[in-house]
Amino acid sequence: MSTPFNYKHLYYFWVVAKEGGISRAADKLDMAVQTVSAQVRELERALGYALLKPAGRGLVLTDAGLAAMQQADQIFQLGEDLPARVRDAVSTPSVRLAVGVCDGLPKLVVHRLMAPAMAEPNLRLLCHEGSLDDLLGDLALHRLDVVLSDRPAPANPNIKLYSHNLGSSTIGWYGTSAMRKLASKNFPQSLAQVPVLLPTAHTAVRDRIEQWFEQRAIRPRIVGEFADSALLKTFGASGMGVFPAAEWVHDDLLAHYAVTRLGTCEGVQEHFFAIGTEKKVQHPLVQRLLQPAL
């Protein structure tokens, strides 16, 4: 079935919208203003809606134009990726794995979760970090093969997503030797007497830790909150305060940071998921990641 519009017209509109005016777009495209304007009018005629409207000396998007622009961004981003995909296909054979990593997931845990795929000798790994919503959008557009997260995918009526449980870890409290001396007596109530570092509220484990404090009537003195888990551990290792971390990577944590374990955050666990668009996963490396859960 033929498309109801010309993709060249869409491209000219896309440039006009990005440049903020037909004159600037014409300069960028090295075309006459009248030609660019005519191309945009052809697109509007094909779609049946005005996409641009005057605003001062320039143009702004209408509601219809905004919707068209969002789609055009996706279309031309895929187009920009095409040469690299073709080049990769004819170069040295490799197994490409594009992974989305939720920004709240601890980096040491990510490395541990990725270990089964790292044994692939011809691996070409692409890691993208971001919010879960943004990563799931890229997953839906097939820009990612899998998303690693600390929570399952939310229900979405527009796309079927499958959350594969990769396991969980108890949470422990860590700090420098000096912090351990201050907090070792009468633990965990002693955590009310030392500075505490926590992950920000966008992580799934933050609520569980706060509930743990409430259940034990501990009022922590929170001196730092970190969206990045590596920063949390770095500042903890500098002596700024004690911090929670997954005990699953205890050995790696002690090897990378000058910290020691104070005790367990009893009853609190951090969960790990691999989110994909297939119930029966086809990608061989994603299958390896899921092997413990299969």
Residues of the chain with CATH 3.40.190.10: 93-167+273-293, 169-269
* Sheet hosting strand 95-102, strand order edge to edge: 123-130, 95-102, 146-149, 260-276, 162-175, 243-246
89-99 pLDDT, tens digit per residue, is 676 667 889 99
Strands, DSSP E only, in the chain? Answer: 52-55, 58-61, 95-102, 123-130, 146-149, 162-175, 195-199, 221-226, 243-246, 260-276
41-66 pLDDT, tens digit per residue, is 999 998 899 998 887 777 888 999 88
Q: What is the mean pLDDT of residues 12-26?
A: 87
256-294 pLDDT, tens digit per residue, is 999 999 999 999 999 999 999 888 888 899 999 888 643
Indicate if the pLDDT at residue 3 is higher than 70.
no
The C-alpha angle 113, 116, 118, rounded to 5 degrees, equals 100
Q: Which architecture characterizes domain 93-167+273-293 according to CATH?
A: 3-Layer(aba) Sandwich (3.40)
DSSP-derived secondary structure letter, 50: -
169-269 CATH fold: D-Maltodextrin-Binding Protein; domain 2 (3.40.190)
pLDDT value, residue 76: 84
pLDDT value, residue 292: 60
pLDDT value, residue 74: 85
Residues of the chain with CATH 1.10.10.10: 7-88
Classified as helix, coil or strand, 24 is helix
Q: What rounded mean pLDDT belongs to the chain?
A: 89
Q: Which residues contact 114 (CB under 8 A, 6 or more apart)?
A: 99, 125, 148, 289
pTM of the model: 0.67
151: left (phi over 0), alpha (psi -120 to 50) or beta: beta
For the chain, the distance separating the N- and C-terminal CA atoms, rounded to the nearest angstrom, is: 41
pLDDT value, residue 1: 37
CATH number of 7-88: 1.10.10.10
Indicate if the pLDDT at residue 158 is higher than 90.
no
Work out the pLDDT band at 4, boundaries 50, 70, 90: low
